[in-house]
Amino acid sequence: EESPFVSNPGNITGARGLTGTLRCQLQVQGEPPEVHWLRDGQILELADSTQTQVPLGEDEQGDWIVASQLRITSLQLSDTGQYQCLVFLGHQTFVSQPGYVRLEGLPYFLEEPEDRTVAANTPFNLSCQAQGPPEPVDLLWLQDAVPLATAPGHGPQRSLHVPGLNKTSSFSCEAHNAKGVTTSRTATITVLPQQ
């Protein structure tokens, strides 16, 4: 039995927060079936999909064009994967060719440096963590807007060890990947004078 699908889902590649649609279309004879969407082989129970069906002739028993559109709002890492349309026709199951959804954009911070208060000349740590895709993501720390000695390319240095400060300072971190740079919030480290 040949596949009823006349068009298959395309591909979406975008940054976090992107809204996109995947579509598939099939031609069937008789009662139009419900179109289900699969992600990585699993039926999406709560898919945000809309289905339209148009008869090709006067006769309800004739051919129908059935189209389904799946909307992905605010693309996240969990939306990525292989998407297919699935229909049950009679006793048979038909699955479309796959389309792929990929995430690719500027680094995204999972953790940013926090404000804190420290005693003068007392060591402390700050942390910063970012992810792609694309990986790798390299971190560069800045103190009072000046890059600290470790150049990017030294891997994700999540934790910055500060041996001690004698005056209030600001710290931030830059995350670099193939798409560009994202800068974290700026943490203010307030230094309390020694008694």
Per-residue pLDDT of the chain (195 residues; tens, 9 = 90+): 789 999 999 999 999 999 999 999 999 998 899 999 999 999 999 899 999 999 998 876 789 999 999 999 999 999 999 999 999 998 999 999 999 999 999 999 999 999 999 999 999 999 999 999 999 999 999 999 999 976 554 555 689 999 999 999 999 999 999 999 999 999 999 999 876
| Same domain for 120 and 99 | no
| Same domain for 81 and 122 | no
| DSSP letter assigned to residue 59 | -
| Same domain for 124 and 97 | no
Non-local (6+) Cβ contacts of 97 within 8 A are 5, 8, 9, 84
Q: Is the model's pTM score more than 0.85? A: no
| Same domain for 135 and 79 | no
Q: What confidence score (pLDDT) does residue 10 get?
A: 97
Domain boundary among 54, 85, 103: 103
Domain boundary among 61, 77, 103: 103
Contact 127, 160 (CB under 8 A): yes
| Same domain for 144 and 126 | yes
Using alpha carbons, select from 123, 122, 124 the residue that is nearest to residue 195. 122
| Same domain for 133 and 83 | no
| Same domain for 35 and 123 | no
| Same domain for 120 and 96 | no
Q: Give the count of domains, the chain.
A: 2
For residue 37, give its domain range.
Answer: 5-103
Non-local (6+) Cβ contacts of 191 within 8 A are 117, 118, 119, 120, 165, 166, 167, 168, 169
| Same domain for 153 and 91 | no
Look-up of token digits 């940054």: 15
| Same domain for 91 and 117 | no
| Same domain for 114 and 72 | no
Count of helix runs (H) and strand runs (E) in the chain: 0, 20
Cα–Cα separations (whole angstroms), residue 128 to 122, 156, 183, 185: 20, 9, 11, 10
CATH code of the domain containing 131: 2.60.40.10
Domain boundary among 78, 103, 128: 103
Contact 96, 5 (CB under 8 A): yes
